[in-house]
């Protein structure tokens, strides 16, 4: 149902599973004293990993949700020619809501890979997956009201996709257990008709585990 690999001009995406990502590498990037971890986790619903087992469980959840057709989440790595080629730059994917015929974009990147435009590049690739191959009617993306960096990136690629900013949804996001309660979210959306009218151009290739074109 899902492509194993997604390639854009500068990025290669592979499934967020232990098969494709070393749990200890994830732990190095996500542990409590990892570089820039406070900045990375300030606006995301997860907290730093206190032990390597949390990183393994993170990858195992990705594998299970993929197998259950709940998500299409990938590890993102820069391709050859990019700084940090082959390293884990971050994670990105789509969360499916089959009943509402919609999918939600999400991602986070390590600090060394901020400011390169990778968020928009992976968003256009995943939009192509969601609309052109999985035939969802609606694509959604949200950010916390105070996350100015995400606001700039999301506004740019949502406009390119033909979508719009809907506004602030009060107490709509679920914060981590550690922080408790809910949080406000700024929501954007793109419907399939808007996407096809905008016809955003970006080279993207999907392939299966054998490297053959998908589907």
| pLDDT tens-digit readout, 148-161 | 999 999 999 999 99
Phi, psi of 126 (to 5 degrees): -75, -30
Q: What percent of the chain has pLDDT over 90?
A: 84
| pLDDT tens-digit readout, 176-202 | 434 455 678 999 999 999 999 999 999
Both structure tokens of 83? 């700084």
* Residue 12 CB burial class (10 angstroms; 0-12, 13-18, ≥19): buried
Asked which of 43-47, 88-92, 162-166, 175-179 is least confident by mean pLDDT, the reply is: 175-179
In angstroms, the CA 69 to CA 67 distance is: 5
Give residue limits of the domains in the chain: 5-207
Q: What is the pLDDT of residue 136?
A: 98
Other Cβ atoms closer than 10 A to 211: 9
Q: What is the mean pLDDT of the chain?
A: 93
Residue 83 has pLDDT above 50, yes or no: yes
Question: Mean per-residue pLDDT for 164-168?
Answer: 96
| pLDDT tens-digit readout, 85-136 | 999 999 999 999 999 999 999 999 999 999 999 999 999 999 999 999 999 9
Q: What CATH superfamily classification does 5-207 receive?
A: Gcn5-related N-acetyltransferase (GNAT) (3.40.630.30)
Q: What percent of the chain has pLDDT over 70?
A: 95
What residues pair up with 15 in beta bridges, in sequence order?
74
Q: SS3 of 3, please?
A: coil
Q: What is the pLDDT of residue 175?
A: 54
Q: What is the pLDDT of residue 176?
A: 42
Both structure tokens of 24? 């200890």
Residue 174 has pLDDT above 70, yes or no: no
pLDDT band at residue 173, thresholds of 50, 70 and 90?
low
pLDDT band at residue 21, thresholds of 50, 70 and 90?
very high
Question: Mean per-residue pLDDT for 29-47?
Answer: 89
Helices 118-128 and 148-161: crossing angle in degrees, nearest 10, is 40
């Amino acid at each position: 149902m899902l492509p194993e690999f997604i390639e854009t001009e500068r990025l290669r995406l592979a499934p967020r599973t232990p098969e494709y990502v070393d749990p200890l590498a994830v732990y190095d990037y996500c542990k409590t004293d990892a570089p820039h971890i406070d900045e990375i986790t300030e606006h995301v619903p997860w907290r730093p990993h206190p032990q390597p087992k949390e990183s393994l469980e993170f990858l195992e959840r990705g594998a299970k949700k993929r197998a259950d057709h709940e998500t299409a989440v990938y590890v993102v790595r820069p391709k050859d020619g990019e700084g940090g080629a082959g390293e884990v730059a971050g994670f990105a994917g789509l969360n499916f809501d089959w009943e509402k015929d919609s999918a939600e974009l999400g991602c986070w990147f390590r600090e060394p890979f901020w400011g390169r435009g990778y968020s928009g590049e992976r968003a256009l690739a995943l939009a192509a997956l969601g609309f052109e191959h999985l035939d969802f009617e609606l694509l959604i993306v949200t950010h916390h009201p105070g996350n100015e960096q995400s606001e700039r990136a999301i506004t740019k690629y949502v406009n390119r996709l033909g979508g719009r900013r809907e506004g602030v949804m009060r107490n709509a996001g679920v914060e981590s257990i550690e922080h408790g309660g809910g949080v406000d979210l700024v929501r954007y959306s793109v419907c399939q008709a808007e996407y096809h009218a905008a016809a955003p151009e970006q080279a993207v290739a999907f392939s299966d585990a054998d490297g053959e074109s998908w589907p």
